[in-house]
Structures are given as structure tokens and as C-alpha cells.
A and B are shown apart, each in its own frame.
Chain A
Amino acid sequence: MTNLTYLIPVALSLGALGLGGFLWALKSGQYEDLDGAAERILIDLEDKSER
């Protein structure tokens, strides 16, 4: 029983961390262009620095 007093808050805060992370990602526009993100990985970095 005493274990629960810290285990439950730990479990919940981990979950909340994930939820917070998702909401942050959503707000900062990470999901705006999913197709583009998939393709952009193919662009070479060297070419980009030139820009």
C-alpha cells in the first residue's frame, strides 16, 4: 500500500508527460505537413546550408 503512494503519482506523471509532449507537438505545428515531413528526410543537408 505504501508503494502506491509514490508509484501512482509516478505512473500518472509519466502519462501526463507524454500527453503534454503530444499537445506541445500539435501546437508547434509538427503535424501540419505529415507528407512533407516524410519526404523532407530525403533532402541532403549540404544543399540546404547553401540556401
Chain B
Amino acid sequence: MSCCAPGAEMALDLASTTSVLPSSQEIRLASRSLGGDLHQTDLSVPTVHCATCIQAIETALGKLDHVEGARVNLSTKRVAVRWRGNEVPPFVAALGRLGYEAHLFEPEVGDKDKTLSELIRAVAVAGFAAGNIMLLSVSVWSGAEGATRDLFHWVSALIAIPALAFAGGIFFRSAWNALRHGRMNMDVPIAVGVSLAYAMSLYETINHGDHAYFDASVSLLFFLLIGRTLDHVMRERARTAVKGLSQLAARGAMVLRGDGARDYLPVGEIEPGMQMLIAAGERIPVDGKIIQGASDLDCSLVSGESTPRNVAPGETVQAGVLNLTGSLTIEATAAAKESFLAQMVRLMEAAEGGRAHYRRIADRVSALYAPVVHLTAFATFLGWMAATGDWHRAITIAIAVLIITCPCALGLAVPIVQVVAARRLFENGIMVKDGSAMERLATIDTTVFDKTGTLTLGQPRLVNAGSIDPAMLAIAADMAAHSRHPFSKAIAGFAAPSGQHKFDAVTEHPGFGIEATNAGSAWRLGRRGWAGWKARTGGEGKHGYGGTVLTKDGFIVATFDFEDALRADARTAIGQLNDAGVLVEMLSGDTAGACGEVAKMLGVDDFVPCLLPSGKVERIETMAKDGHKVLMVGDGLNDTPALNAAHVSIAPATAADIGRNAADFVFLRESLLAVPLALDVSRKAGHLIRQNIAIAIIYNAVAVPIAILGHVTPLIAAIAMSASSLLVIGNALRLQTSMPNSPAKEVRRNRQSDFNELARSS
């Protein structure tokens, strides 16, 4: 079980991670009461993955005081902890000690995916009915006569009733909804075909007729429900995977009352004028003004700036920025609903994307298909009436036409391809929110990237490590290990393997740097002006990020240069997009200099720097007006309106919560190759969908004339429908084999590493 012991590597990651454990007040807010003083808290634990993990977690949590029990759900990577009393047991810390990083999960109160269980129940009922009716039908086909046949028909009719009422209800409701709003979808011909087939068969049974289509109407429901359920499961899986990511927005804040009392209030209850205490590592919940303290703020998710901002009392801060180094007292200047985050939501709602008008392929096809089918059936009825004058015969044949054209293959043609495609993407760490996203992605001709956090990782990287004296670098690394500042973390990565330096005292001066004393000399690591107080000034501003230096007793002994690290494979990904005939552009809120550098390194020709969130939306809307279909890839709060305005959007897993919710695709791995891969799979899926629709139409072209001539029996209908469905499914499965990488084992391992990456990045 070596896979399972989260060894030294994990522990190290935990030590250096920026996320602080959720405070017990925060956990209380996220818990729900189970009656009495029993509470349940749902935690997302992305790294849990085997029996040993389950056992370790359940045993350790069960031993804590006041904990009633803990249950791990391995499929959703969640732990439900039930506990009593007013004090929150320290279960997050206990999990941390075991090496599992846990974050709070928004409990969906009473909403345990009702649609899925309804679908599965419908499939079970339809399957039961279809199996039994098919058994009886086989007896009829093999020659049951007279009273026996009537008995079998009657039994079939009885079995079909619950199936139609329960399983068919899903289609009837959807069809009725569409018709009521004057639209047409695939469920309309299905509902019409199934109910007419049942009514006609019932009439035949009452009048001792030979042919009843109970089997056709019920097995049709069964097949279609399978397709629908698979589709739902796939989307649900993507949704839960995305939801399981740690929440990046603050849930509440410690409010300092006038009389000195401290209360932890949820974000919604914070009002302008209240004073909040923000510890290092916390996100700022609402817009405010700093009244006390100094710190560095990470604004990358909010504005796209890659360099941490240095703040002092008097400055204003926006909701959503991460406080890195020092604790701050902030006076709220806006309530949550007027804060930056809420403004982004409003901008997002105002930006009406192309997707609002997008109609899915299946709906477009059925809008053409249904009238044609219904007209053909009607014409058949008229034709037979004119030819024979026998209205019973004419109606029977017309309904046979409807049954044979009932879009079994067509109903499966689109969802089955999308399910297979979504599965392929899922295996590669890309989550698809819904099928229409793939249809839209297949049509794009322009890709717009955000810079910070998307093309780059938003984490600085030390670039001149090679030219620094190794001894000095080791000292700097040991000092840097005491800070959360991104620059410190970049330096700390170069710690010498041979043990730590022993400093007498290490203090962090928020906004300036770190100071340590050792054997009488004072070491400082930080801003040039502060650390090198004895050095002659003049070099200032020469280095990219204001200059970070290591000093001994005030004399500079080493300088550090940083640049924003590029996301893995960013260059290759952009090359592949260019090869696929897609224009690439970069929109950023960062400075022109920083953008130009990244653009040059990646080979991106077009970029627009210093954009406000609304500027990004305007740029995308202009492109859309010029007839371009735009894919937006971005991660920040400031990208969210643009993500919504674009034709289709992709966000990395490290994106702000609201951005992840707005995006159609979310990729979990670090590599930017996810973008061309998603495009490639979507285009192939689009191709297969068209093929499948063609197959369905060819099938109809062959079967319909036979039906119109009156040669269709229930046996022929059953064979024809099954054959066409199998053909469509088989064609869809070609997508699985057409890209022969990632065998099953590899996939499992990759999925594992996804979650590890997630745990690290969050």
C-alpha cells in the first residue's frame, strides 16, 4: 500500500501551502443540523483514494471527542462527519495530521440529485416492462394464436401501463414543455409515437387483432432512457468534481465590535462601517479600507496583476484578494452585495453570450424531422384511405409509419457521442459541463487567453538562481521558508538538502521582508530599500519586480530576479491551436510590459494589456459582431464576465469559484494542452454526431417506404429499431478508439495525480 501513505512529499506540500485551515466558526457556518445538538459537516478530501485511506480517516475521526461518526465516500472524495455539542471537533486538523488536506464543502440540503435517481428508477421500470413484454411478444411472433395471443396482448398492455406512466412521464413532460413554449424538440415525436403506438395496440387487442406494438413502444423508452441516464451521469460527475474543488471565496470574517467583542459573521451580514480582522492567508470578504496593519496582497484572481501589491493603512482593497503576509484591520466600505464580486456577477449577467441563442444540434434536427415524419404519416393515411377506403387499415399503417420513424437512433445519435467524448475528456482531466458546450467548442475560430493564472501560473519563479552564490541562496531559502509571500516560496524551493540553518530569531515584516539574526549579524531578505539600508541607492528599479535582495548587516550580498512562470506546455498548446486554424489573442489586466514579455515567449502576436473586466467583455463582443466564434480561457474574477460573454469558455481548476461555475469546461491538470485536446475531441465528436444523424436518416429512408407500403409487422419494427440503435452506438464508440493513447491503467494513475495536483494547488 505504498500508494497510500501520503509520505514526506505530501507533508512538505502541506507545510508550504497557502491555504489556512478553515476556522471553527467557518466550519460551524457550513454545517447543518441533524436535529438535537447533532451536526453534520461535509468535507471534500481530494486525496482520498483507497481502502487504507478510508480506514485511516474513519478511525482517526471516530476517536475524536464529540464525533459520532465519520463516513468516507470514495466516489465523490468526501467525508461526512457527524458531531455533537457546541464546540467544533478539530477534525480538519486531524485530517491534516494524517496528510489529507480537507476543505469545506457546500452541503446541498435535501437536494441529493433527484433527477438521477428518477432517471435510474425510470430505466429500471422500463427495463422490467420491456423484458417481460418482449418475452410475451416472442411467443406471439413464434405463432401463438387466438385466445392465447389475446391473453398475451392483454398482459403486455397491463405491464406497459406503469412503464408509460412512470418512465414515459419524463418524455411527456419535456415534450409538453417544448410545445407550450412553441418549440420543437426530440421528445415531441417520441411522445407522439409512443402514445399512439400504445393506443393503437390497445384498440387491436380489444378487437382481437394480430398485431400489437406494446414491445416497440416500451423498448423504445428503455433505450432512450439509457442514453439519457448516461448523459446525466457524465455531467453530474463533472459537476461534482468541479464542486469538490476548494472554495476560494471567503465565507465570513471576524468582525470587531465597538465594545471590543469579536464575532464571526457570514459574508452576507457584514455591513459598511464594520471593522474586520483579516489574518495572513485569508481572503478579504468585502470591499474595504485598511485602517491598521501592513501586508502584501495577491490580486491575481481579482485584477490579473501578477506582482503582489504592497498595502498600508488608508488604501482600499477589493473583495476576493488574498492577504499574504501580515494581519490587517479593515473597515468595510460596501456590503457583500455591492462588493467587487457582486459587480462581476452583475456584469456577467449583463453580458449576454452567444450561448443564450444557441440551439443544440438535436433540437435543430428534430425541428425539421418531426414535421416531416408527422406529415409523412398523415399522407400515408390519406393515401390508403383514397386507395382502399378502409379507415382501420389506413390508420394502422399510418401508425406503423410513426413507430418505425420514431427517432430511436436519432435520440441516441447525439447524446451517446457526447457521453463517449466527455468520458475521453474526463480521463484527461477535463470536465465538461454539458453536451452543448462541445457542440459550441467545435465551431470556434478564435481563442482568447487571459494571462495571469491561465497562460502563466501566477506564481513567480526565480530566474537567476544560477548566478547567485549557493551559500547565500541556501541562507535565503531557509529564511524564505518562514513566509507565505510568493517570492519567498519561489526562493524556498532552492533550500539546500543538507539541513536547515539555525537562526536565533526570524521575524516577518509584512510588506517589507524577513529579518533573521544569527551569531550577531542581521540578515534581511526583502525589498531593496528596506533590506539594504546601508547600500548606496541607484540600482533600484533596475530589476523587474522592484528588486528583492538578501543583505547581511545592511550590505547587499545577493539579488533575486523573478518572472511569472509559464503554465506547462503553454507554447505547444498555442502552436497546436494555430495549427488547428484558430486565431489566438491574449487579454490581460496586467501591465503592457509584463504582457509583452509573455506574448513574445509564447509566440502570441495579438495582445491587449491593462484591460478592465468590462473591457474584456467589450473586446469579445466586438469579435463576436465581426462574425467570430470566440473561446475564452481565463481564471480570474475579472475574467468571469468575459467567460460568460464568449461563445464557449474554459477555466483551469485554480480559477475563482464563480469563474469555474461560469465556464463550460474546467481542466484539472496544470498543462495547457487541455485546450487543444478539448477542441480536438469536440471537433471529432461533432463529426461523429453528423455521421450518426446521417445513419439515422438513411435508416429512415429505407424503412419508411416499407412502412408506407404496409409491410411492417411488430417483428420487423423491433429488429429495425434495435439494429439502427446498435449501429449508432457502435459508431459513437469509434471516438474511444480513434485516439489510441491512455490505456485504462494509465488513466487511473492520471486521475490520481489530478487530485494530488488539486490538493497542492488549492
Cβ-neighbour of B132 out of A15, A27, A35, A36 (below 8 A): A15
Contact between chains at B51 and A39 (CB < 8 Å): yes
Contact between chains at B72 and A36 (CB < 8 Å): yes
Contact between chains at A12 and B120 (CB < 8 Å): no
C-alpha spacing A1/B124, complex, angstroms: 30
A26-47 toward B: CB 8 Å interface, digit per residue (1/0)? 1100011111100111110001
Contacts A12-B132, A32-B75, A36-B73 given; indicate if A43 touches B121 (C-beta within 8 A).
no
Chain B nearest Cβ from A42, distance in angstroms: 4
Contact between chains at B51 and A42 (CB < 8 Å): yes
A2-39 toward B: CB 8 Å interface, digit per residue (1/0)? 00100010011001101100110011000111111001
Cβ-neighbour of A15 out of B51, B62, B128 (below 8 A): B128
Report the count of interface residues on A (CB-CB < 8 A): 27
Contact between chains at B128 and A19 (CB < 8 Å): yes
Give residues 99-140 of B contacting A (CB, 8 Å): 117, 120-121, 124-125, 128, 131-132, 135
In the complex, whether B356 has a CB less than 8 A from a CB of chain A is no
B117 CB contacts on chain A under 8 angstroms: 26-27
Contact between chains at B159 and A33 (CB < 8 Å): no
Contact between chains at B74 and A15 (CB < 8 Å): no
CB-based nearest A residue for B147? A1
Q: Which of B53-61, B318-326, B710-718 contacts A (4 or more CB under 8 A)?
A: B53-61
Contact between chains at A36 and B75 (CB < 8 Å): yes
Contacts A12-B132, A32-B73, A51-B62 given; indicate if A39 touches B54 (C-beta within 8 A).
yes
C-alpha spacing A47/B60, complex, angstroms: 12
Contact between chains at B58 and A36 (CB < 8 Å): no
CB-based nearest B residue for A1? B148
B159 CB contacts on chain A under 8 angstroms: 12
Chain B nearest Cβ from A41, distance in angstroms: 8
C-alpha spacing A11/B72, complex, angstroms: 40
CB-based nearest B residue for A9? B155
A51 CB contacts on chain B under 8 angstroms: 58-59, 62
Chain A nearest Cβ from B135, distance in angstroms: 8
Contact between chains at B148 and A33 (CB < 8 Å): no
Contact between chains at A43 and B125 (CB < 8 Å): no
Contact between chains at A43 and B51 (CB < 8 Å): yes
Contact between chains at A36 and B124 (CB < 8 Å): no
C-alpha spacing A41/B74, complex, angstroms: 13
Contact between chains at B74 and A19 (CB < 8 Å): no
A32 CB contacts on chain B under 8 angstroms: 73, 75
Q: How many A-B residue pairs have CB under 8 A?
A: 59
Contact between chains at A33 and B132 (CB < 8 Å): no
B74 CB contacts on chain A under 8 angstroms: 33, 35-36, 39
Chain A nearest Cβ from B115, distance in angstroms: 14
Cβ-neighbour of B50 out of A1, A39, A50 (below 8 A): A39
In the complex, whether B76 has a CB less than 8 A from a CB of chain A is yes
C-alpha spacing A34/B124, complex, angstroms: 18
Contact between chains at B75 and A47 (CB < 8 Å): no
CB-based nearest A residue for B125? A19
Contact between chains at A40 and B54 (CB < 8 Å): yes
Contact between chains at B75 and A26 (CB < 8 Å): no
Contact between chains at A15 and B131 (CB < 8 Å): yes
C-alpha spacing A19/B75, complex, angstroms: 25
Chain B nearest Cβ from A32, distance in angstroms: 7
Report the count of interface residues on B (CB-CB < 8 A): 26
CB-based nearest B residue for A22? B124
Cβ-neighbour of A8 out of B58, B76, B155 (below 8 A): B155
C-alpha spacing A42/B4, complex, angstroms: 14
Contact between chains at A43 and B131 (CB < 8 Å): no
A47 CB contacts on chain B under 8 angstroms: 55, 59
Chain B nearest Cβ from A5, distance in angstroms: 9
Give residues 51-86 of B contacting A (CB, 8 Å): 51, 54-55, 58-59, 62, 72-76
C-alpha spacing A37/B159, complex, angstroms: 34
In the complex, whether B151 has a CB less than 8 A from a CB of chain A is yes
Chain B nearest Cβ from A49, distance in angstroms: 11
C-alpha spacing A32/B73, complex, angstroms: 8
Contact between chains at B54 and A11 (CB < 8 Å): no
Chain A nearest Cβ from B483, distance in angstroms: 39
Cβ-neighbour of A26 out of B120, B131, B151 (below 8 A): B120
C-alpha spacing A19/B130, complex, angstroms: 12
CB-based nearest A residue for B148? A1
A50 CB contacts on chain B under 8 angstroms: 59
Contact between chains at B128 and A18 (CB < 8 Å): yes
CB-based nearest B residue for A38? B74
A11 CB contacts on chain B under 8 angstroms: 132, 135
Chain B nearest Cβ from A30, distance in angstroms: 12
B50 CB contacts on chain A under 8 angstroms: 39
Chain A nearest Cβ from B504, distance in angstroms: 46
CB-based nearest A residue for B70? A51
C-alpha spacing A31/B75, complex, angstroms: 10
CB-based nearest B residue for A44? B55
Chain B nearest Cβ from A13, distance in angstroms: 11
Contact between chains at A33 and B76 (CB < 8 Å): yes
C-alpha spacing A8/B156, complex, angstroms: 11
C-alpha spacing A42/B72, complex, angstroms: 15
C-alpha spacing A26/B123, complex, angstroms: 12
Chain A nearest Cβ from B206, distance in angstroms: 19
CB-based nearest A residue for B69? A51
Contact between chains at B128 and A36 (CB < 8 Å): no
CB-based nearest A residue for B53? A39
Chain A nearest Cβ from B57, distance in angstroms: 11
Contact between chains at B75 and A40 (CB < 8 Å): no
B120 CB contacts on chain A under 8 angstroms: 26, 31
C-alpha spacing A47/B75, complex, angstroms: 23
Contacts A15-B132, A39-B54, A43-B54 given; indicate if A33 touches B62 (C-beta within 8 A).
no
A15 CB contacts on chain B under 8 angstroms: 128, 131-132
CB-based nearest B residue for A48? B55
B51 CB contacts on chain A under 8 angstroms: 39-43
B121 CB contacts on chain A under 8 angstroms: 23, 26
Chain A nearest Cβ from B350, distance in angstroms: 40
Chain B nearest Cβ from A39, distance in angstroms: 4
Contact between chains at A33 and B75 (CB < 8 Å): yes
Cβ-neighbour of B73 out of A16, A18, A33, A42 (below 8 A): A33
Contacts A39-B51, A47-B55, A47-B59 given; indicate if A19 touches B72 (C-beta within 8 A).
no
Give residues 389-423 of B contacting A (CB, 8 Å): none
Give residues 32-66 of B contacting A (CB, 8 Å): 50-51, 54-55, 58-59, 62
Contact between chains at B125 and A36 (CB < 8 Å): no
C-alpha spacing A41/B51, complex, angstroms: 8
C-alpha spacing A27/B120, complex, angstroms: 11
C-alpha spacing A19/B76, complex, angstroms: 27
B58 CB contacts on chain A under 8 angstroms: 51
C-alpha spacing A4/B146, complex, angstroms: 14
Contact between chains at B73 and A19 (CB < 8 Å): no
B439-466 toward A: CB 8 Å interface, digit per residue (1/0)? 0000000000000000000000000000
Cβ-neighbour of B151 out of A4, A22, A31 (below 8 A): A4
Q: Which of A18, A33, A34, A41 has the most CB of B within 10 A?
A: A33
Supplied contacts A4-B148, A32-B75, A34-B75, 11 more A-B pairs, CB within 8 Å: A1-B147, A8-B155, A18-B128, A19-B125, A22-B124, A26-B124, A33-B73, A33-B74, A33-B75, A36-B73, A43-B51
The 4 closest A-B pairs by CB, nearest first: A36-B74, A42-B51, A39-B51, A35-B74
Please name 5 pairs of A and B residues whose Cβ atoms are closer than 8 Å in the assembled complex, sorted by A. Answer: A11-B135, A23-B121, A36-B73, A39-B54, A41-B51
